[in-house]
Structures are given as C-alpha cells and as structure tokens.
Amino acid sequence: MNNLFTAQDWNAVAPLFIVGCVALLVLLADLAAPKHANRYVSIGIGIAGLAAGGVYAGMQYYAPAYDAFGGGFINGGFTIVFEEIIIVAAMFSLAMCANIGRADRMAGVTALILWSTSGAMLMAGAANLMTIFLGLELLSLALYCLCGLSDRPAAQESALKYLILSSTASGFLLFGMALLFGASGSVLLSALAAPALAANPLYWIGAGLFLVGLAFKLSLAPFHVWSPDVYEGAPLPITAFMSVVTKAGTLAVFARFAYGAVPHASSSPLLIPFFIVAGISMIVGNLGMLAQTDIKRLLAYSGIAQIGYVVAALAGTSALGVRYAIYYLVAYTFMNLGVFAIAALSSSDNEEGSRIASFQGLAHRRPVLAAVMSLFLLALAGFPPTAGFLGKILILSTNVGTGFAWLAGLLIAGTAISLYAYFKIIRLMYEPHVRPHETVRAAAPLAYVSVAVCAVVVIVMTFYPFTPSNVLPLVK
C-alpha cells in the first residue's frame, strides 16, 4: 500500500504542492510579520515559493515523460513548459500587487493566488478527468474570491458574474465528463482515444459538453461574454493573473485532449467546432476592442482574440502546431503582462490606471515607459520586431501546412481590425497635448523589473525563437 506510489510520482506533483504549501507559509508568516511590512513579506515569500516550484519543475524538464498516480498526472516537457508559464505569470501578478490593493489583505490574496496557481499547474499535467476537474475548480474558486476582494462595487459584481457563469460552465464540463466516463468506462484521457468510441454518440455529446466547458474558460466567442466584465471589475493584478493563468491551464487541458484523447484526431471532425469558435473569437475579440475606454476591458477583448490565435495553431493537431501554440502563448504572456505592469505603474488610487485616458501624454511625462508600452502594444498588434510578429508567422505557416487556410485568413482579418485599437493608445501617449499630471504613486522597483523583463523577452524571442521540441502532449 505505501509502496503504491514511488518518489517519481511525488516528484511529478511536487512543484504544485510546493506552491500550494507555500501559501500556508504565507498565511503563517503574516501573523508574525510587522504590520507595516506584511505586504512585502507576503509577496516576497510568495514569489520565492513560486520560484522554488519553478526551479523544481525546471530541473525535471529533460527527463522523459511518464505518468504519475496511475495516469492522474503526466510529467514531461509539455507539462513543465506550461507550469513555468503559469508560474511566471503568477510572479508578475504578485509583483503588481506591490502597489495595488489593501495591505492587510495581502497575505490572503497571496495565498489564494498561489493556490489558484497550483490548480492551474495541476491542469497542466492532468491526464484524467478528475484531476482536470479539480485543477479547474481549484483555479476558479480562488479566482472567484480574488475578483471580489475590493471595495469597489464593480469588483463584487464581477465576482458574482464570474461565479454564476463559471459554475454553470463547470456544470456543462462535468456533465460532459460524466458522459465521457460513461462512454469509455474510465476516467483516463488515454482511454478516450479508443477507436471504438468514434462511433459512440455518448462519447460525442460528452466531448461536446466537455469542450464547451473548456471554451468558456478560454473565453472563446460566444463563451467570452463573461470575460470583459470580469476583467474590468477585478483588481488589476488579478486581471493580469486571470488573463494568462486560466488560459494557459485550460489550453494545456485542451491540447492534451485534442492530441491524446480523440480517435484519429487530425482527420476527425470532432474538434472542428472548437477551431471555428477560435476563428470567431479572433474577429469578435478584435472588434470588441475598437471603442473601449478601459484598458482592462480592452485587454479582455484582446485576450479573446489572442487566445483564438493560439488555439488556431493547434488546428490539425500537428506536432509543430503545439510548439507554435506554446511559442505564441509565451509571447502573449509577456506582452500582455507587460501592458498590465505598465498600467499598474501608472495607476493611482481613484482609478487603477485602467482608464485609457490616463495614458494621454505619457510620452511627455515618462518617455521610456511610453516607449516600452508602445513596444508591447506593437507586439500585440503583431508588429515587428516583436515575438507577436514571429508568432503570427509561425501560426500562419502551420495553418497553411495543415490546410486550415481559412483560419489563417481570419487571423489576418482579425489582426487588421485590431490595429486601430492598439495604435489609438500609442497615439494618445504621443499626442502633443498633455493632460494635468496624474497623482502617480511611487511604484516599487519590482514593477519596473517586471516591465523590463517583459520588454527584453518580447524582443529577444523574435530573433531566438523558443520552440521547445519535447512538448508533444502525451497521454500515455
């Protein structure tokens, strides 16, 4: 009984357990820490814990893939890459907390962020329906609370909306899982690839409802309706966290399902609707950006479109596709978080720097910051020399190669639409007319560091494209 699971099993899940347990450590430390410093104590410990988890996971990167806990969790390149993405995003979000939100709540917030992170990390490796479900719920439950953690009525509203809608979606997901279980008689994804299932309607309906749940979490149109409101309402760092972590985790699950749990996937019509909604969200997301006045809301729509691009890369489930999806996801992580970090920097109490108007004339107040901001926006718009540019090239070539040219076309159309929205902000920053100086809080150096890191990565990735080779999402 006690030699049922070997050390290998525990190694696989150790990173997420480290992160989860550090959360408890944060809570304890908060009791001990002096009141004036507790904000930084919590953030410090949190980031340290995340780093530890990241390092631990990273050390196993080159080990061959294997599944732990009887297929509950698969460790391997794919899992670890996603874990790293998630961890980095969590770190940046914590760094942003440095000057936003109430200090006395910081410990709890940090803990919740960490648990949410560990939930996403679980999704990254989850290979059976239970772990998928639990990871998803761990991630979401923490996020419901985090969204509501502000005195602004908008925040509470966003929490309520997120909770109700997300639970409904989870209902669909769960029901789908039940049907999948019924069809295959097993909760393992690997069991779902059995060719016999291709003819089983239970399997099909189950897969359908399952994908609905994933599409909701990825906020693909038309399941995106929640994200603009929630992003706008939630506190800035939480929005940043959500915009990457939720999507990364869910994308990992989807990739695993698409690559491992679909009978002869590349030719099967089973995934087509998912790619169709990806295409729709490229258009819808970019259109939604056009007349926004709140940067968080704008980024919500932008995220809808961007994740559409990422999913498009998986169309045809080619071996290269997943690598480019990861490349673009990483690019998206950094350019997106870069914008959030700058918004956090230029944030003041009354409005968390989230009103686009507050960027007006930024180039005259803080030229460097404005330049970097422009860089991130250019990247989101797919302008060179940024990772966004190369990422689009890679996705386009995948689509052309796998015969999904229509997705490529939609990608082009969507990007063309998005240009105006992104450049509107740039123009605003460089407009000669300067509005009265904002009361900008003295920001923590941490925030500057994260901005710098994002900027460097976004450029470097263009010329040293990072497309790891051992990231095929195996299920067995």
Partner 1 sequence: MSLVLILLPLLAGAVLFALPATDRTASRAIGCVAAAITFLLPLVSQGDGNVTAHWLSRPFTASLHFAWSGISFWLVLLLALCTFCAILSTNMNRPRVMIALLLMLEGSMMGVFTARDVLAFALFWDLMLIPPFFALVGWGGHRETAWRYLIYNFAGGLLLLLATAAFGVIYGSTDVIGTSHQLLGAWAPWIFAAFAFAFAVKTPVFPLHTWMPATYADSPPPMVSVVSAVQSKAGVYGLLVICLPFLSAAMAQTRWIFIIMGLVSLLYGAYVALVQTDGKRVVAYSSLSHLGLIILGIFSLNPIAIAGVIVYIVAHGLFSAALFLILGYVEQREGTRSLTRLGGLGAHNPKLAGAFTIAALGALGLPGLAGFAGELVILTGVFKAGLFWPALIALIPIVLASAYMLRLLQDIINGPEVADIPQRADLTLTEALALAPLLAALVVVGCYPHALLSTGFSAMPSVAAAPAAVVGERP
Partner 2 sequence: MIEFAILAFVLIVSAIFVITASKPIYSVVGLLAHFAALAVMYFSLAAEFLAVIQVIVYSGAILMLFLFVIALLSSGVSPFAEGPNRLPKIAVPALAFVLILLGFCVYAAARAPVAANAGAVSASIAGPVGAANVFGSVGDFGRALFTVYLLPFEITAFILMVAVIGVILLAGDATPYVPTRRRARLVEREMREAVLRAGEE
Partner 3 sequence: MSAYGVSHHMGIDGNYPVLFVIWLLPLAGAILNWAFGPQLQRMSAWLGSAVLAVSFIATLAAWGIGTQSSDGALGAHQALFSWFPGFNFGLLLDPLALIWVLIITGVGFLIHLYSIGYMWSDSAIARFFAYMNFFVFAMLTLVLSDNFVGLLVGWGLVGLASYFLIGFWFFKPTAVAAARKAFVINVVGDVGIMFAIFIIFARIGSISFADVFANPHALDPWLFWTCVFLFIGAAAKSAQLPLHTWLPDAMEGPTPVSALIHAATMVTAGVYLVARCAPLWSASHDAQTLVGTVGCLTALAGALLGTAQWDIKRILAYSTMSQIGYMIMGVGVTAYSAGVAHFFTHAFFKACLFLGSGIIIHELSDEQDIRLMGGMRQRAPVAFWAMLSAVLAISGCPPFAGYFSKDRVIYGALEHGYVWMWVVGLITAGITAYYMFRLFFVTFLGTYRGDLDPASVGVDREEHAAHQEPHHAHAPAWLMAVPVGVLGVFSLIGGWIMVTPSSPWAHFFAQSFPRETLPPPAISEAVTTALAIVMLLAGAAVAYARYATAPALADAPERLRRETQTLPAILVHLYYFNELIDVLFVRPARAAGAFFSQWVDPHFVDGAVREVVITNRFLGTLVRSFQTGLLRAYALIVVFGAACFAVYYALAGGAR
What's the rounded Cα separation, in Å, for the pair 170 and 167? 5
Contact yes or no for 23/110 (Cβ under 8 A):
yes
Residue 318 DSSP class: -
Quote the tokens at residue 159.
């929490």
From 254, 244, 249, 241, select the one nearest 330 (Cα to Cα).
244
Taking CB under 8 A as the rule, does residue 468 contact partner 1? no
Least distance (Å) between residue 17 CB and partner 2: 8
Q: Looking at 164-172, 440-448, 452-460, 462-470, which segment touches partner 3 (CB under 8 A)?
A: 164-172
Contact yes or no for 228/288 (Cβ under 8 A):
yes
Q: Which helix or strand (DSSP H or E) is residue 66 part of?
A: strand 66-68
Say which residues have a Cβ less than 8 Å from residue 118's Cβ, sequence separation at least 6.
Answer: 16, 17, 19, 20, 23, 138
Least distance (Å) between residue 282 CB and partner 3: 12
Judged by CB, which is closer to partner 1: 51, or 413? 413
Taking CB under 8 A as the rule, does residue 48 contact partner 3? no
Taking CB under 8 A as the rule, does residue 277 contact partner 3? yes
Taking CB under 8 A as the rule, does residue 254 contact partner 3? no
Residue 403, binding choice from partner 2, partner 1, partner 3, none, Cβ under 5 to 8 Å by partner class:
none
Q: Looking at 75-83, 152-160, 378-386, 439-447, which segment touches partner 1 (CB under 8 A)?
A: 378-386
Judged by CB, which is closer to partner 2: 185, or 445? 185
Taking CB under 8 A as the rule, does residue 169 contact partner 3? yes
What's the rounded Cα separation, in Å, for the pair 365 and 113? 33
Residue 74 DSSP class: E
Contact yes or no for 93/113 (Cβ under 8 A):
yes
Site for partner 1 in 288-347 (CB under 8 A): 320, 323-324
Task: Compose the 391-420 pattern: x for residues touching partner 1 by CB under 8 A, - for all others.
Answer: -xxx-xxx-xx------xx--x--xx--xx
Residue 144, binding choice from partner 2, partner 1, partner 3, none, Cβ under 5 to 8 Å by partner class:
partner 2
Q: How many residues does the chain have?
A: 476
Judged by CB, which is closer to partner 1: 186, or 467? 467
From 262, 268, 284, 9, select the one nearest 125 (Cα to Cα).
9
Contact yes or no for 165/217 (Cβ under 8 A):
no
Residue ranges in contact with partner 2 by CB under 8 A: 1, 4-5, 13, 17, 20, 23-24, 27, 68-70, 72-73, 104-105, 108-109, 111-112, 115-116, 118-119, 122, 130-131, 134-135, 137-138, 141-142, 144-145, 148-149, 152-154, 179, 182-183, 185, 196-197, 200-202, 205, 293-294, 351, 355-357
From 334, 335, 319, select the one nearest 467 (Cα to Cα).
319
Taking CB under 8 A as the rule, does residue 38 contact partner 1? no
Helices 319-345 and 236-260, packing angle to 10 deg: 180
Least distance (Å) between residue 382 CB and partner 1: 8
Tracing tokens 């089973």 back to the chain, one arrives at 270
Binding site for partner 1 (CB under 8 A): 320, 323-324, 367, 378, 382-385, 389, 392-394, 396-398, 400-401, 408-409, 412, 415-416, 419-420, 423, 427, 430-432, 462-463, 465, 467
